[in-house]
Structure 1
């Protein structure tokens, strides 16, 4: 008859087993306290012998990932990003349920993310290459206006104060346009190292609407937002906010002084998140629709806008694995659709509903 294994022997077997895994491994009890850890993790000290340490206190991002995973065998990993020593560490947290707790395996994916960032930078530069001809054309026009005005002012000794002020205003406006084009191009070419994290797309929509209203003082444009709770996407919230803002500002210009804009969020059955922005304006001319996302293409008067907003928005959505579409509504007005992959994590609201 076999004798039961002693506690010391069980602890030794557990330690040997955890050390055999190729990644750092954390064992938790049912309440989330750390029972054992196979090796050190960057940026945190985990030592179960020093007393009970809860994962939520040590590594909040890990604990949030455990909560998002929920019960059951499906989707047993989450991607986590945390700042360590001034840089972003990208990790994939694999989870395996035990009878009285859970095992967490921590895969460092920073190198893969660095490669992905390099590929994204390459794609951005390739896109900029296609824009070069348009950039030269767009910059040459205001520079020509500046040169002509300066030659006129320098060539006349009897320039009145009124004419001088008008000339300097024209120079200032054209220099501002060149600087605006330059800034947009530089911003687009630079790929930051901000991690892509799950977030509710409606939060970015709300921020974009606030920015729009601040810039539309004096106009009676109505913006109505119909959110959907828990519509999560994985990405850069700042970039998607810029996408939404660019579409909103175009819609605001289209509807005039007292039009209406409708923003609707929906989750589709094929695990997509759809943001639909519609307006009551005149719609997009049929000959313009095929070119609506081309760099430097704009239907606004000369000097108003760079023609880069929708082109950059299109690239940002594509980089998030999504699609940006535009079409005219049967009853008038235009609609832009941002179609993005849904993030698989369950929201806090859903977890609370399950526990109720």
Structure 2
């Protein structure tokens, strides 16, 4: 079985040829350069050589010359197989050096195998020794052209690299994020405009990383803690190959002595460290502004809700106020009768005819309706007190609801919140529906009573306004579900199509007539519930009504009592 020596500095190329030739019944020997191939051939001459040209130590041209100059190797067929030396002069030189074939990569396997079989089958005669002077001149010319070509390619690559580096530096300078680039030696190579604007330090101030620490962290104790955190993050990034992300934030002092709360991270770019500085001051200001806007929107929704309910609330206050007024008028009349009775009684008691006194007092008692007043007076007082309590309750619940919330969370009774809200919206509910309570006692939830009252009010008002037919019914249900308290508000109103149900939590989306809805009620309710780590689910079918289910986590105290 013939042996083919494959010479190529590419392991992939050698593997491909080995697989091809062995698959067709040939033995294969390998070498990664001309020097190794020559040594191998002198130990065990092959039957044929396939060689690349551009290789380290000894190239293919030199290898071919060495074969043809060696009497023991001179007759071995030699094929150049190259993708680098491709000109006609390259091929001519190879053939002048004594090669049998000059083939360009890649070749179809069948073509390459045919050339190999042809050469193996021929009784190769010893190749003539070429003219060394002529070959040396041609070899030098070929190598010079290749070197010239490589130098031109290298110059173009260097120019492109310089251009890319300039573009990258320009990009870094114009980047809106504050950043700095430092070398492994500790030299600070770049700080961009955003960095200078943020902290006031330029390259003249920070020539080395060592210049950064005392300027940014003037307090030695705090500086030591920061350096320890930073070194730990650097070590973790080097081991894991990821970003340098120290935990927490950093209080950094700028050139004017002002401190900034920054989040600092970095990444390795080659042997450089690219460090990013994120100013949290603006972020926190934006967060405060968002929180203020959200609070204002919540308050606006509250006031809009109260405005819509104003007529019903006034009616609920006027009803007890009306019968209290009527009772007071009755009490005023009864007081006049009592006053007349007591006055006449004094006159009768002052008289001398004692024998007729009882009859006179009885007649006076009847004439002043004392017995009727005695029967009616407790009821009048009791009804008046009930009416006052009703008014006081409405005003109290309305005041608590309308007041800006404190954002404090506490353990609270969700059903008590519900009753307070019902007290406020009762006038709206009773116009369109009967209210049915199917409420089971609930453990305390942790939340903000004003915010949750706002959610409940939106759900109850929406349920009442969704009922547009006689026989309206709103059902309230409550139950415990694992570690959550659940409350459902179900109505038998108009219901919603799927397309409408998918949009009800979008801000400013409303199906109510102009002036009757802001489109903020349900979106704000959802935000409140999610801020309480709860859920607000809706199930609705056109013509059959809707059911909104509120689920809230139990208070921590309840978790401890009920592990």
- TM-score tier by shorter-chain length is 0.3 to 0.5
| Larger Rg belongs to | 2
TM-score, normalisation: structure 1: 0.43
Could you say which structure has the greater relative contact order, defined with CA pairs below 8 angstroms and 6 or more residues apart?
Answer: 1
Q: TM-score normalized by structure 2?
A: 0.28
